[in-house]
Amino acid sequence: MGPYANVRVSVEDHVATLEIDHPPVNAIDRETFEGLRAAFHEAVADGRVKAIVLAGARQRFVAGADIHELAAMAGAQGAQEMATATHALFLTIERSPKPVIAAISGRFCMGGGNELAMACHIRIAEENVQFAQREIRLGLIPGWGATQRLPRLVGLGKAVELILTGDAIDAQEAHRIGLINAIVPVGSAVHEAKAMAGRLASLSSVALAKALDAIYTGLDVGYEEGLAHEIACFGEMAETEDMREGLRAFLEKREPAFKDR
């Protein structure tokens, strides 16, 4: 796979690790954005890959948008074009049929970096990371999805508070309110994310994709339609070899050997 602008990619044991490497703070400028988009699409298309880890180089996650590019935006049209392109990529990440885990390291996960993390399915953060949506303090609002994803993750009241104040919270509070899934020691986020991705990669990729489909489709269409979609997905899984293997393995008291079909 690759090479990609400012993104390093490795694949090991069915896990692709995409590491954003744009010194000094891994900000997402146009070149890095295109590199990430190309790398992610290829990871999803790669038959070897069953789970994806998204990380930042040099013990930093992602600083968010390049401030110089924000300052140079050509009015409303330029801002909307940037936001539209970013929304498309983040939706691709969120709707990936392969689980995506954010490995969050460094001192800060703020602005667009936090929005990128929220687009991932699972977030693992080191214990010293602080989280915030600082856009309000720049005379802006979040434009990469925080106004929609943050309330879904932490609840309306807390999301409104964080977006309107721009206040930072530590990893412990982020975990308490549901913004992140796990806290790990400094220096271990990538290792722990790869370990979790490896556990997921040992499961049926068909079942993983159907579970993600049921969850995120349900969020879009509403409760009753979501339940109906779950029924349809459940029925489709009943036709798979992996379901039959999983049930046989359970009855025979052994580990299943999934074939991803």
Catalytic residues: 115, 135
Q: What is the rounded CA–CA span in Å between residue 76 and residue 73?
A: 8
Based on DSSP, count helices (H) and strands (E) in the chain, helices before strands: 11, 11
Sequence-distant (≥ 6) Cβ neighbours of residue 205 within 8 angstroms:
50, 97, 98, 258, 260
| Residue length of the chain | 261
Closest to 106 measured CA to CA, from 45, 61, 43, 65: 61
Burial class (CB in 10 A: 0-12, 13-18, 19+), 239: exposed
CA diameter of the chain: 64
Where on the phi/psi map is residue 47: left (φ > 0), alpha (ψ -120 to 50), or beta? alpha
Cβ-count burial 1-24 (b if 16+ within 10 Å, e if not): beebbbbbbeeeebbbbbbbbbee
Three-point CA angle 43, 174, 177, nearest 5°: 110
CB 233, CB 214: distance < 8 Å: yes
